[in-house]
Amino acid sequence: MDESKRPVERTWDGEPISPDPPFGAVIVVFRLDEDEPTFLLLHRGQFGPSFDGDWAWGPPSGARYPDENIDVCAARELAEETGFTLPLTCISGGLDTWCVYIAEQPEAMSPQLSVEHDRYTWLRLDDAVRRISPEVVRAQLTAAAAALQDRTWANHLEHRG
């Protein structure tokens, strides 16, 4: 099949998805609560507040538009889904089908949710891992938490005073 005639895949709300990897970005947002990280999880609202199970809870994420730079995608999705504009650190350099980013929310601010989500929570890692499914999303959060621990956590705490 001629690649130029391949149908464009679309998101749940009709937006085009890049036909080439990475297909999107996951942004693991954390903040420090009593010197321990808590992670932001969003609840997908399109199926109602009682929706549970696979894809119900997860970090901000979204599909990359065709020809969109993945860093631009990550910043756009974070802003669209939470209203946050934060520095992003990529921990999976585009080798996967989705790129994973870490972002720190230094203040106890509430996200401004998009129509895609109906509520949010901040959870410690163990609780966040139990809340998220499917496994692929759980693994993305766990990888981000490990990268945070390995790369910046000890250094970050030293500079907090």
Could you tell me how many residues make up the chain? 161
Cα 37–chain centre separation: 16
pTM of the model: 0.87
% of the chain surpassing 70 pLDDT: 88
Structural domain harbouring 72: 3-160
For residue 94, give the amino acid letter.
G
pLDDT of residue 152: 53
- Tell me if 47 sits within 8 A of 117, measured CB to CB: no
Q: From the CA atom positions of the chain, what is the Rg in Å?
A: 16
Number of helices (H) and strands (E) in the chain: give both, helices first: 4, 7
Domain count for the chain:
1
Report the distance separating Cα 135 and Cα 107, nearest Å.
Answer: 29
Q: Which amino acid is at 96?
A: D
List helix spans (H) across the chain.
70-82, 125-131, 135-147, 154-160
148/27 Cα distance (integer angstroms): 13
CATH code for position 156: 3.90.79.10
- What does the pLDDT look like over 74-111, one tens digit per residue? 999 999 999 999 999 999 855 579 999 999 998 888 99
pLDDT in tens, 4-44: 566 788 887 788 999 999 999 999 999 998 888 999 999 99
CA neighbor of 41 nearest in space, from 88, 96, 98, 82: 82
Amino acid, single-letter form, for residue 11: T
